[in-house]
Amino acid sequence: MTDDLFKTGLNMLKLHNRSLCVIASSKRFDTEDSFLNAIAAVLLGGVDMIIYGEEDKNTKETIKTGEKIKNLCDEFGATLIIKSRADIACAVNADGVYLTAEDIDDETARLILGETAIIGKPFTPDEKADFYIEDINQNPPEINIPIFGYGDITPKNIDTVLKNGYKKIALTNKFLHSTAPDKTAREISEKIHLYNS
């Protein structure tokens, strides 16, 4: 029990310190290597959390790629969250799972992943989660739980997003396809840290 409390506290501390996330899938990448290179580039640029999920891959392939992303996240000290699939999150030893209304409930996710797993959700006032993601076109809710502003965020509009109240940012998968994702991630990360300091 003490170990679980310690790990829960550690996970929540890790989550509290995360400020730049990419929601990632290998869709539109020609090869797995090019996808993993893009993940490595954004981690190098300062992304400290990856939410990974696939729609067009089978479970076995998703686990294989997820394990490689987990290794990259560990190398860079980043958090890995798996989108929608607690079974895959368990298989790759991810830090948690991101659940939508169509996915399994929290209780079942925690049975699969353990009580210390991080659970994220889209923001709705009546849903409990360890972190939320909200569209940047909405005003951020005033809550004490980490909330990531999500949308088509670039170095050109990040200042506006931060001024509107978002302290944590979730970038779309499109970001991975940018010309220099490592440099762009670094620029956005530096602006977040400057704004929050």
For residue range 132-177, what is the model confidence (pLDDT) as tens digits?
999 999 999 989 899 999 999 999 999 999 999 999 999 999 999 9
Query: DSSP E strands: which ranges in the chain?
Result: 20-24, 49-52, 79-83, 96-98, 118-122, 131-135, 147-151, 168-171
Task: State pTM to two decimals.
Answer: 0.94
- Number of residues assigned to the chain: 197
What average pLDDT is seen over the chain? 93
The C-alpha angle with vertex 151 and arms to 99 and 105, in degrees rounded to 5, equals 5
Q: Does domain 2-196 fall into CATH 3.20.20.70?
A: yes
pLDDT band with cut points at 50, 70 and 90 for residue 5: low
Nearest to 164 by CA among 176, 150, 144: 150
For residue range 15-60, what is the model confidence (pLDDT) as tens digits?
889 999 999 999 999 999 999 999 999 999 999 999 999 998 999 9
Ranges of each domain in the chain: 2-196
For residue range 119-135, what is the model confidence (pLDDT) as tens digits?
999 999 888 999 999 99
For residue range 75-120, what is the model confidence (pLDDT) as tens digits?
999 999 999 999 999 999 999 999 999 999 999 999 999 988 999 9
